[in-house]
């Protein structure tokens, strides 16, 4: 009988499989949808924590809705959504400063006008994102039409995490 040695890692001679590179697993860029809702704040916290642990960059994306048809209402809507964007940016800055373990976090903030799905998809493609994180939709109508999260998942181009 011959002695047959077994190692627990499942690889001959204890060597790593060909093509494996230590330290390159996990996401490098994470895109997080942020709209000011409670679930989007949860998504932002989840994404920031994941990025910090993985040494990844996180891109927070706020999409300003286009609501008004006439010029006067459009100007008022634009001013309001700009205020929301500035408020979200300030909240991110404060959270990073307040939480010492996030100070090394590499992050950026993007804001767009239009459809949230298209803005998140474009940002994820442009940044070559490894993951997209969004909050669960809080709108009843999205159960019928389809939420941004469902549309991102159906696109099948990135891993998508939906945070409650």
Task: State the Cα–Cα distance between residues 79 and 126, nearest whole angstrom.
Answer: 27
Query: Looking at the domain covering 26-163, what would its CATH class be?
Result: alpha beta
pLDDT the model gives residue 131: 94
- Largest Cα separation within the chain, whole Å, is 90
Summarize pLDDT for 15-63 with one digit per residue, the tens: 555 555 555 577 899 999 998 888 988 999 999 999 988 889 999 999 8
Whether this prediction's pTM lies above 0.85 is answered by: no
DSSP calls for 85-150: HHHHHHHHHHHHHHSGGGTT-EEEEEEEES-HHHHHHHHHHHTT-SEEEEEPP--TTHHHH--HHH
- Give the tokens for residue 21: 């590179």
Task: State the Cα–Cα distance between residues 144 and 97, nearest whole angstrom.
Answer: 40
pLDDT the model gives residue 147: 84
**pLDDT at position 111 over 50:** yes
Fill in the DSSP letter of residue 75: H
Contact 135, 162 (CB under 8 A): yes
């Amino acid at each position: 009988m011959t002695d047959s040695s077994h190692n627990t890692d499942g690889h001959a001679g204890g060597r790593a499989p060909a093509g494996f590179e230590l330290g390159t697993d996990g996401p490098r860029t994470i895109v997080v949808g942020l709209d000011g809702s409670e679930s989007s704040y949860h998504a932002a916290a989840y994404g920031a924590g994941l990025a910090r642990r993985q040494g990844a960059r996180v891109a927070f994306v706020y999409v300003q809705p286009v609501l008004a048809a006439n010029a006067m209402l459009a100007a008022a809507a634009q001013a309001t959504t700009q205020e929301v964007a500035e408020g979200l940016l300030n909240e991110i800055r404060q959270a990073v400063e307040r939480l010492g373990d996030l100070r090394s976090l590499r992050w950026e903030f993007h804001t767009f006008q239009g459809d949230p799905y298209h803005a998140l998809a474009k940002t994820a493609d442009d940044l070559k994102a490894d993951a997209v994180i969004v909050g669960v939709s809080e709108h009843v109508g999205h159960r019928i039409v389809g939420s941004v999260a469902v549309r991102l998942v159906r696109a099948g181009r990135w891993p998508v995490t939906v945070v409650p």
